[in-house]
Amino acid sequence: MEKLIITAAISGAEVTKEMNPSVPYTIEEIAKEAKSAYDAGAAVIHLHVRWDDGTPTQDKGRFKEAFDAIKEACPDVIILPSTGGAIGMTAEERLQPIELKPEIASLDCGTCNFGDSIFVNTEDMIHTFAKKMKDLGVKPELECFEKGMIDNALKSYKKGLLEDPLHFNIVLGVNGAMAATIRDLVYMVGSLPKEATWCATGIGKSEFDIAAVAMVMGGHVRVGFEDNLYLEKGVLAKSNGVLVEKVVKLAGILKRDIATPEEARRILRLEKQK
């Protein structure tokens, strides 16, 4: 099997310090959490940013501050900014970090319920996001919360808006989308093109169960505060690093070596931005 790429989603847009005091808001806190995840074995940092009071933002300047601080702390790490932003943001707001020309960024592939809200990603939005990423040389990580989103991604591919090799993040357990079960993960992965690479994300208590199954299946793994705030039942994680450490231990048991950022770039076929 390929070496295991670990992505750390260090902050998200919805979780707060009231839920876990270690959730990062400030640029200093974001850099510290990125470094903790990197030191533990993460090759990729999936990045949302906040203002200092915790309000989520897609402001390009704020992302630039966070990029610079993370790169100072861990120069070779891959930074994967979100274009999902937060519920209610416009497409124009959400696309701002792409202007910084990261190596890779998220591209949400469909609309779904998100708790009591609706996470809107129309077909036109998907095509617009894909085209802009292609024009700027940014590889999309195709975020799919259910099977129809894979189909949406493949439609964009057929239109020439996405290029091989495709890379997917299968996100399971969102309140309003597909459940985080082994059956559903196997079904989703079986729906991907054979040449695609993929990562799996389990939300909440399913985080490490989904991670373990993904590792056995030959996929890659995402963990972090965006998806889960607990190291185990009733025990808050003190950092993103301890969540990554738990994945590394699982990988050792399951005989998956951990990819460095440079190895991850080769697996994902990224070109490091200068």
- Average pLDDT, 10 consecutive residues per value, the chain (274 residues): 97 97 98 98 98 98 98 98 96 97 98 94 97 98 98 97 97 96 98 97 97 98 98 97 98 98 97 48
The answer to whether residue 152 sits within a structural domain is yes
The answer to whether residue 144 sits within a structural domain is yes
- Predicted pLDDT of residue 123: 97
The answer to whether residue 118 sits within a structural domain is yes
Q: How many domains would you assign to the chain?
A: 1
Cβ-proximal residues to 53 (8 Å cutoff; 6+ apart), any chain = 25
The answer to whether residue 273 sits within a structural domain is no
- Predicted pLDDT of residue 271: 66
- Predicted pLDDT of residue 74: 98
Please report, for the domain that includes residue 59, its CATH number.
3.20.20.70
Cβ-proximal residues to 253 (8 Å cutoff; 6+ apart), any chain = none
The answer to whether residue 253 sits within a structural domain is yes
C-alpha atoms less than 13 angstroms from C-alpha of 81 in its C-beta half-sphere: 28
The answer to whether residue 132 sits within a structural domain is yes
Check: CB of residue 221 under 8 Å from CB of residue 214: yes
- Predicted pLDDT of residue 33: 98
- In 3D space, the residue among 44, 138, 32, 37 whose CA is nearest the CA of residue 83 turns out to be 138
The answer to whether residue 183 sits within a structural domain is yes
Q: Model pTM greater than 0.95?
A: yes
Full domain range(s) for residue 21? 6-268
Measured between its terminal Cα atoms, the distance across the chain in Å is 30
What phi and psi, each to the nearest 5 degrees, are found at residue 90? -75, 165
The answer to whether residue 119 sits within a structural domain is yes
- Predicted pLDDT of residue 274: 38
